[in-house]
Amino acid sequence: MPSDADSHRPSSRRLPPRRRFVLRLGLCLAALVLLGAVFAAARGQALVRLGAQTEAAARIRALALDSILAKQRAVAAILADDREVIAALGARETGAAVSRKLERVQAETQSTVIYLLDDQGRAISASNFDEPGSFVGQDYSFRDYFRAAMTSGTALQFALGTVSNRPGLYLSHDVRDGSGAIGVVVVKVEFDAVEAAWAASRDRTRVTDMGGTVLLSSRPSERFAPMPASQGDHLSVAVPVEGADWRLVQEVSGAPALETAALTTGGVGLALGLGALGIGQASRARRRAERRQAAERQYRDDLERAVAERTEALSAEMHERRAAERRLAELQADLVQANKLAALGQTAAGVAHEVNQPLATIRVLAETGLDVLGDEGDPEVSGNLATIVRMTSRIAQITTELRNFARKATGEITQVSLAEAVKASLLLTESRRRSGDIPLELAPIDPGLRVMAETVRLEQVLVNLLQNAEEAQGGQPRPWIRLGVEAGDDAVTVTLADNGPGLDPAQAERLFTPFATTKPGGLGLGLVIAREIAREFGGDLRADPPVPGQGAVFRLTLRRAP
Ligand code: ADP
C-alpha cells in the first residue's frame, strides 16, 4: 500500500518553482511573438484592402472629373461651330443675342461662365454680360488659354479669374471661318461643389498638374501650392484624370487598418488569454484534486499506523499482564511452598520433641536387651535388637535435623563476620575432607567483612554446602573444593564449587524441593532448609545450571552489613 501511494505522489509531476517561472516566461514571450505576427499579418491585409478601396474611390472621382471635362469640352466645341458665334466674331460686334445664348448654354451645362474672345483676345460676348462683373470688353489676350487656342485649336488652363478672383478651369476652343481662327470660345468651370463633396469625406483628395502643383483639393487652402508630402501613417493612391494632364491623388488615414489589426490581435490575444486561463484553471483543479487525494492517502496511512501502534501497545500490555499474572502465580506458589515449609517446620519441631523421649527409651531398652542376652542369646533376637538400635539412631538423626530446622527463632539477625563463620564451618567439616584427601582452595577473606545473619544458622548453611561438596567427590581421581567470596556494595556472594560429577539434570529442577535426594541415605532436606535460612537473612541460595563434565556451583548471597 505505501508503495502504491508513493507511485502517485502529486509532487513528482509538479515542476520546481524556478523552472515553472522560466516556462511561464517562455510561454508569455511566445504568445507576444505570435501576437506580433498576427498584428503584422492583419495590418498588411487591412492595408491591402484599404488600398483597393482607396483606388476604387479615386477612380470614381477621376471618372467624375473626366465626365465634367468631356461635357464642357463638348460645349466649347459645339459653340465654336455655332453660326451665330461665328457671325458675331466675324462682325467683331458685341451682340446681346449671342450673350443671351451663351447664358442659356451656361445655365444648362452648369459651367461657371462662357465667353467669346475675338482674335485680339477681347471679350465680345459673355454669359455674365448682364452682371456687375461682366467680362464683355475685357482683354484676355495675355491668357495662355487664348494664345494656345488661337495657335493649336484647343487649350486647357487652370487659373484664377482676373475679374472674379476665383480659381477655375478654362477650356478654350478656336472659332474659325474660311480664313482661319477668328476668335476663341472659353468655358470656365469651377469645382467648388466637387471639392465640397470631397471635403465631406474623411479622405483627402487632390488633383495636381504634371508639375505637382495642387489644382483642386478637399482643402481649398492647399490650392496652387506644391503637393504636400503624404503623412507617415497615410496611404495614398494616384490615378490619372483622362481628360487633362492631371493626376488625382487620394490619401486615406492608415488608422482603420491599424484599428482592424489591433482588433484582430486583441481577439486572438483574448482567445489565447482565455485558453491560458482555462488551462490554468484545469491544471489548478487537477492539482487541487491531487492534493486532496494525497491528503486522503496521508490520512489513511496515519490511521493505519495509529491502529498498528495501538495494536502493538495493546499486545505489549497483554504480554505484560500475562507476565504479571505468571509472576503472581509463582509468588502464590512460593507462598504456598513457604507456608507448607513453615507448617512442616512446626510439625517437625513438635514431632521431634514428642518422638525424642520415647525414641531414647526404645534405644536404651534395645541396648539393654542386647547386653542382657550377651553372646549366648538367640542370634535372631540379638539381630532384631541390633536393628532396633540402628533404626532408632536413624530416627534420632532425622529428628536432630528437624529440630535444627525448627530452631528458627533461636537468635537474632545481626552483623556477623563472614571470615569467622567460614572458619568455623571448615573446622566442622575438616575430618571428612582430610579422610577423602580433598584439597580446599580458599582465597583470604577480609576479616572486617560483615554480613547480616545469625551465626549458628549461617554456619549450618555453609556446613551443608561443604558436606554436599565433599559427598559428591566419592571416587573422583582429582577432587577439589573451591570457596570464593565476592563483596559488592550491598551484597556479598559466597561461591562454593567442587570437582564432583555435577548436578544431575533431573535433580537440578527439584533441587530445593523437600525430600528430593539422589543419595541412598539422603534426606533431601539440607538444601531446602539452607535456602530458607538464606532467604530469612534477606539473601538467597542458587545453583548454577548444570554443565556436563563440570562439578556443581552453589552461590549463597547475603546482605552486606552497613
Ligand atoms: P541430601 O544431601 O540429604 O540428599 P540435600 O538437600 O543436601 O539432601 O541435597 C539434595 C541433592 O542435591 C543431593 O541428593 C544431590 O543429588 C544433590 N547435590 C547437592 N549438592 C551436590 C553437589 N555438590 N554435587 C552433586 N550433587 C549435589
- pLDDT of 332-364, one tens digit each? 766 666 666 666 666 777 777 788 888 889 999
Rounded Cα distance between 205 and 478, Å, is 146
Query: pTM surpassing 0.75?
Result: no
pLDDT for 243 beyond 80: no
Rounded Cα distance between 5 and 294, Å, is 8
514: Cβ below 6 Å to ligand 1? no
Given a contact cutoff of 8 angstroms between Cβ atoms, the answer to whether 116 and 129 are in contact is no
Q: Which residues of 418-475 form beta strands (DSSP E)? A: 440-442, 450-453
- The secondary structure of residue 15, as a DSSP letter, is P
By alpha-carbon position, which residue is closest to atom 13 of ligand 1? 517
pLDDT value for 11: 47
Alpha helices in 374-454 (DSSP H): 379-406, 418-436
Grid coordinates representing 190 are 469651377
Ligand 1 center to residue 468 CA distance, Å? 6
Distance (Å) of CA 293 to CA 7, 62, 289, 472, 514: 13, 76, 6, 77, 71
Rounded Cα distance between 506 and 405, Å, is 26
The residue written with cell numbers 556443581 in the block is: 552
Q: What are phi and psi of 465, to 5 degrees?
A: -65, -45
511: Cβ below 6 Å to ligand 1? yes
Coil, strand, or helix at residue 55?
helix
Ligand 1 center to residue 532 CA distance, Å? 16
By alpha-carbon position, which residue is closest to atom 8 of ligand 1? 524
pLDDT for 8 beyond 50: no
Pair type for strands 481-487 and 491-498:
antiparallel
319: Cβ below 6 Å to ligand 1? no
510: Cβ below 6 Å to ligand 1? no
pLDDT value for 337: 64
Among the ranges given (314-318, 328-332, 385-389, 466-470), the one the predictor scored with the smallest mean pLDDT: 328-332
Ligand 1 center to residue 187 CA distance, Å? 166
503: Cβ below 6 Å to ligand 1? yes
pLDDT for 404 beyond 70: no
527: Cβ below 6 Å to ligand 1? yes
Given a contact cutoff of 8 angstroms between Cβ atoms, the answer to whether 65 and 177 are in contact is no
Alpha helices in 170-254 (DSSP H): 192-200
pLDDT for 9 beyond 50: no
Among the ranges given (64-78, 219-233, 272-286, 394-408), the one the predictor scored with the smallest mean pLDDT: 394-408
523: Cβ below 6 Å to ligand 1? yes
pLDDT for 14 beyond 70: no
Ligand 1 center to residue 503 CA distance, Å? 8
By alpha-carbon position, which residue is closest to atom 2 of ligand 1? 522
Q: Residue 3's pLDDT band (boundaries 50, 70, 90)?
A: very low
- Give the list of residues 6+ apart from residue 106 with CB closer than 8 angstroms, or none: 112, 113, 114, 127
DSSP string, 283-316: HHHHHHHHHHHHHHHHHHHHHHHHHHHHHHHHHH
Mean pLDDT of the chain: 87
Ligand 1 center to residue 469 CA distance, Å? 8
Coil, strand, or helix at residue 490?
coil
**Ligand 1 mutation target, pool 527, 542, 547, most atoms within 8 A of CB:** 527
Which sign does the torsion angle of CA 198, 200, 201, 206 carry?
positive
pLDDT for 6 beyond 90: no
| Element housing 485 (H / E) | strand 481-487
532: Cβ below 6 Å to ligand 1? no
Rounded Cα distance between 240 and 249, Å, is 9
Ligand 1 center to residue 473 CA distance, Å? 12
60-99: b (≥16 Cβ within 10 Å) or e: ebbeebbebbeebbebbeebbebeebbebbeeeebbeebb
Grid coordinates representing 315 are 499486545
**Ligand 1 mutation target, pool 467, 468, 518, 528, most atoms within 8 A of CB:** 468
- The secondary structure of residue 121, as a DSSP letter, is S
